[in-house]
Structure 1
Amino acid sequence: MALSADLTDAAALADAGRWAAARDTYAALVAQDPTADAYLGLARATWWLGEARRALDHAERAFAAFEAEGRYREAAMVGVHLCIWYLTNFDNAAAGHGWLSRAGRLAGRSSDPAAAAWVTLVSGYLARDQAESLRLIESAAAAAESLPDPDLATMALADRGLWHVASGDVDRGMALLDEAMATTFAAPRQMLEVIVWSSCNMLAACSLVDDLPRATQWCRAADRFMDTYGCPFLQARCRAHYGRVLVAAGRWDEAEAELRQALSMTADTGRGPRTEALTALAELRQRQGRPEVALELLDAADPTTAGIVVRAACLLDLGKAAEARTAIRGVLAVHDPAGPDYPMLVAALVEAELSAGRRAEAADALRPDRPTWSTPPYPRGGGLVARAAGLVAAANGDPDGARQRLGHALDIFTELELPFEAARTELDLARLLRTADPQAAAGRARSAHTRLQQLGARQAAAEAAAVLRSLGVTPPPGPRRADALTAREHDVLALLAEGLTNPDIAGRLFLSPRTVGHHVSSVLRKLDLHSRAEAAAYAVRAGIHRSSR
């Protein structure tokens, strides 16, 4: 069917990344003549603009129109898109599988091998059995070799890469993902959506193994694409993955922004993407030294393995070792030892057992016949297991073994650019060396304290400061951080910057002048300032504004 001049104009706007103009043009066409092509164009434009719910509605109408016209190949491809959108944007597996089945039925009627191969590829991505998943993905990849569909070949590369990373063959998987990302940014494309799907696979893989450098490099490589078409991280899950990687890398301000955006994107989606964003934000709060807030976030999320590990860390921060042990043991009892989260669970259990004074139980979790004793295929997990083994050795009076294992863990965390884990391990070494080599212990504690302060890890930084004081070393003052303030103190500081007196502030905030005075004193103390004038100057430099609550 030949496109009308108006459809051609709308398609040109979409090809140029002018999504709002394309949406408006397609919407006008739908109002005049609701054809399948107009509905499909409207669906794509609204999806790229982040209007996922509207995109679904338009795409479903496009599917029905294509099917009615006997254009089964186009209908099948819309069904593939609907399957992916339902899964990644709305966490609706039933609807996703349903639409893939409809796509498969129409792909068969179309006699188009490319449409059938796309259905096979997505079926492989969704398959629960790992062997069957790889078989289907490789079948689609083989079909792509003889088909004029470079997007199919690229997506098959990306799916194979994620499969291998998730299965433990990290190097092979990342090489395939790198190739897919390079191809999708360089080669001519029929479907821009392949960049979104490939990018999400890449971020999911990087999140699994905490490979921030790779994630960051590919995000930079996407800058030119983003200038034209917008952000390729259109799925809430994808953005949550990136936020989690940023948390692991210590880039906490950026992580905060990404995770808040992910949460805003999940307001109208299924619970899965929202749970991932909430869990990542809870991990950030725990590392910042705010375990109570982290637990509140976890309570609003569905239970996950990652969430259990964060919950256990929060409980340990609050001195509730028995509850932490119970939480971890319950998950370990049913968890696959070959899974990527297993080493993290074991390391968390070891910390909980040691906190409860149960050295034998902690050592038992790391017996040489356990699958976690050797370094697992996921590097961060290997570092966590090595650190746990070092803590057990230290508790059992083996300083040489403890030093060796903790040093190995520190090397892993340093190489992976995981500053929080590295700082905690340096603090472990400081405690270990405190008696035998006070000077070396002080150096380790000082380094850990500096790193933790820079990160904003308040509770862990306070622990490092305590170790320094026990060694007769005065800890340096921490950086002034406005996030140490309560919401009310933040508002008071913003009004101080406007030059208001205490009575003026009291009138603005509906407080008594006496209460405002207490808040001002608290602000000065927390920010290590000496006067209202210093506080006002600090607020101006830091860009502090009153919240819109």
Structure 2
Amino acid sequence: MTEDFLAAGRAALTRGAWSAARGQFERALETETSPEALEGLSWATWWLEDVPACLEARERAYRLYRKADDARAAARMALWLGDDHNEFRGAGAVAEGWFNRAARLLEELEPCPEFGWLRVFEAHAALGQHDTGRARELAVQAQELGRRHRAVDLEMFSLATEGLALVEEGAVEQGMRCLDEATAAALAGEYENLAPAAWTCCRLISACEEIRDYERGAQWCRQVQEFSRRMEARFVTGVCRAHYAAILGWHGDWIEAERELTKAHDDLTLKRPYWRAEAVVRLGELRRRQGQVGQAEALFNEVPSHPLAKRGLAELSLDRGDAAAARDVLERMLRRIPAGSVSRAWPLELLVRADVALGETAELHLAEFCAIADLLRTRPLRAAARFAEGICAAARGEHEEACACLEEAVDLYEGLAPFEAAHARLEFARSLLALGRTDAARREARTALPSIPVPRQDQVELLVALGLVGPPVLSARQVDVLRLIADGLGDREIAGQLVISEHTVHRHVANIFTRLDCSTRAAAVSRAAGLGLL
């Protein structure tokens, strides 16, 4: 009877029927308390995000396997407990304790799949430290064990890990081939354990975002979403939605991006903080692009250790004209990433902007960034490199060269990334204006305006010079009031924030409506944002 329940439970896990699996394993435990039933129950509750039940089942299984002197099975439980404490609790020290326990249990055994999983987890840690050579070495060892023992999930997830390390080193074509193959195997149902299948998908999509291969990412996102819906894997669906939303945002489809991010936020519960952060930071980036600065900053500060949050906060500082603060953040990021890693591309790109804004030479940062763009060769990175070259040339007063670079950046971004294309057009217009080509500058700026909800202050000055917007029309106090309105505060809250009376707030709001020729708060915020007043 017990064996029947165990077999039914395992079959339910294979097809992604988590609640049914839980029921079968609980029936098995009612008949006999076995470590096999507890292990199965731990996976059912893992997928159902019942964290206490998952950890309890794993620990009980570990103890029973140890009591039965089954070191291999006990090591397996120790490995997954280590991963659980990382994923669910962010408890790195506890996780390390379990990984070390697994390693000691495996010392006396012949090489087995559990030893391969230990190597994969070690490779993951090496990737986190940007030690790609060590990560590849460990991943190849794990692949060999997977092949030898016909453990497809171990072999393919290790291949995906190797692929990610190769991409990080700049061997993009080879690395993406590894990731494509591993993901195809995952979606084809070749993995015995579906958890590594989910992780494989995440590795691929993360790599696409890293190298800005948004077309490849969009294709795989659609496949992964369908797979995760079939498997009732909300957290996988949520992560894919977050990545897909970033791609939609890049393409300028902000309405659909917001819809996907809202769904992702719902799918990614607080029980998996690591994964939930993926939606939070991308929603923050969308808010930044929409000009909702307060909301963007709050979202980035929810998960300040996330690399994309650090990047977002640096971009906000640049948008506000505080290039020194942005440079501080970016230089700290860069010091943690070894030379030769493609992960240096984002901080380098932004450091070029910061250097230019501060009136300092950007040549070293520019050269390294362009070298990475030449290595990866994706269209968005080539566009970003030409943009960076263009603003550096303009800073040197070489506006003919700047125009050539910026025009190429616009062409590369056109039809792919309207927000980036618009910013490139405004810089192109700035150099055209410096060359006395006012009509051409005005045409470029006018084309750019619809894609930039809130121009930066320096861009507003350009638009005023070109006669496309009027000069600022609000007092400093009125701008303070309107910023708080934009952040969603009511009159009483605004009065408290600014230490003024509600009556004074009402008067400021009425004057804002008059000066901006608006009749609603939303319209006033939108109009002021378009004028660059917020």
Counterpart in 2 of 1:162?
A: 164
Q: Is 2:251–2:417's contact at 8 Å kept on the other side of the alignment?
A: yes
Match for residue 371 of structure 2 among 359, 370, 374: 374
Q: Is 2:342–2:372's contact at 8 Å kept on the other side of the alignment?
A: no
Counterpart in 1 of 2:476?
A: none
Matches within 5 A, 1:433-452: 433-434=432-433, 436-452=436-452
1:431–1:53 distance in 2 versus 1, CA, 3 Å: farther
1:59–1:413 distance in 2 versus 1, CA, 3 Å: farther
Does 2:403 match 1:403?
A: yes
Q: Is 1:195–1:232's contact at 8 Å kept on the other side of the alignment?
A: no
Q: CA deviation at 1:169?
A: 1.5
Does 2:454 match 1:458?
A: yes
Length, aligned pairs only: 485
Q: Is 1:387–1:406's contact at 8 Å kept on the other side of the alignment?
A: yes
Q: CA deviation at 1:241?
A: 5.2
Q: CA deviation at 1:199?
A: 0.9
**C-alpha distance after superposition, 1:195-216 (max 9, x if no partner):** 1121121122123123332222
State the AA in 2 paired with 1:406: L
Counterpart in 2 of 1:230?
A: 232
Counterpart in 2 of 1:102?
A: 101
1:439–1:28 distance in 2 versus 1, CA, 3 Å: farther
Matches within 5 A, 1:384-395: 384-395=384-395
Counterpart in 2 of 1:202?
A: 204
After the TM superposition, which parts of structure 1 deviate over 6 Å for at least 4 consecutive aligned residues? Answer: 235-239, 462-466
- Of stretches 89-98 and 326-335 in structure 1, the one that deviates more from structure 2 is 326-335
Q: Is 1:309–1:345's contact at 8 Å kept on the other side of the alignment?
A: yes
- Of stretches 131-140 and 99-108 in structure 1, the one that deviates more from structure 2 is 99-108
State the AA in 1 paired with 2:405: R
Q: Is 1:211–1:245's contact at 8 Å kept on the other side of the alignment?
A: no
Instruction: Find the residue that maps to 2:43 and give its secondary structure.
Output: helix
**C-alpha distance after superposition, 1:355-396 (max 9, x if no partner):** 34x1xx1344457xx533434445555543432221121122
CA distance in 2, matches of 1:261, 1:384: 28
> TM-score scaled to structure 1, two decimals?
0.75
Counterpart in 2 of 1:283?
A: 285
Counterpart in 2 of 1:19?
A: 18
**5+ residue gaps, structure 1:** 476-483, 490-510, 530-549
1:448–1:90 distance in 2 versus 1, CA, 3 Å: farther
**5+ residue gaps, structure 2:** 471-484, 491-501, 525-534
Q: CA deviation at 1:314?
A: 1.6
Counterpart in 2 of 1:478?
A: none
CA distance in 1, matches of 2:91, 2:232: 25
Does 2:81 match 1:82?
A: yes
CA distance in 2, matches of 1:87, 1:209: 26
Counterpart in 1 of 2:352?
A: 350
Q: Is 2:292–2:486's contact at 8 Å kept on the other side of the alignment?
A: no
CA distance in 2, matches of 1:239, 1:40: 30
Q: CA deviation at 1:274?
A: 6.1
CA distance in 1, matches of 2:324, 2:291: 20
Q: Is 1:108–1:116's contact at 8 Å kept on the other side of the alignment?
A: no
CA distance in 2, matches of 1:158, 1:92: 25
Counterpart in 1 of 2:429?
A: 430
Superposition RMSD in Å: 3.9
Counterpart in 2 of 1:142?
A: 144
1:345–1:62 distance in 2 versus 1, CA, 3 Å: same
CA distance in 2, matches of 1:334, 1:110: 37
1:421–1:201 distance in 2 versus 1, CA, 3 Å: same
Instruction: Find the residue that maps to 2:369 and give its secondary structure.
Output: coil
> TM-score scaled to structure 2, two decimals?
0.77
Matches within 5 A, 1:260-279: 261-262=264-265, 265=268, 267-268=270-271, 277-279=279-281
Counterpart in 1 of 2:261?
A: 258
- Of stretches 289-298 and 41-50 in structure 1, the one that deviates more from structure 2 is 289-298
Counterpart in 1 of 2:44?
A: 45
Q: CA deviation at 1:397?
A: 1.9
1:411–1:91 distance in 2 versus 1, CA, 3 Å: farther
Counterpart in 1 of 2:153?
A: 151
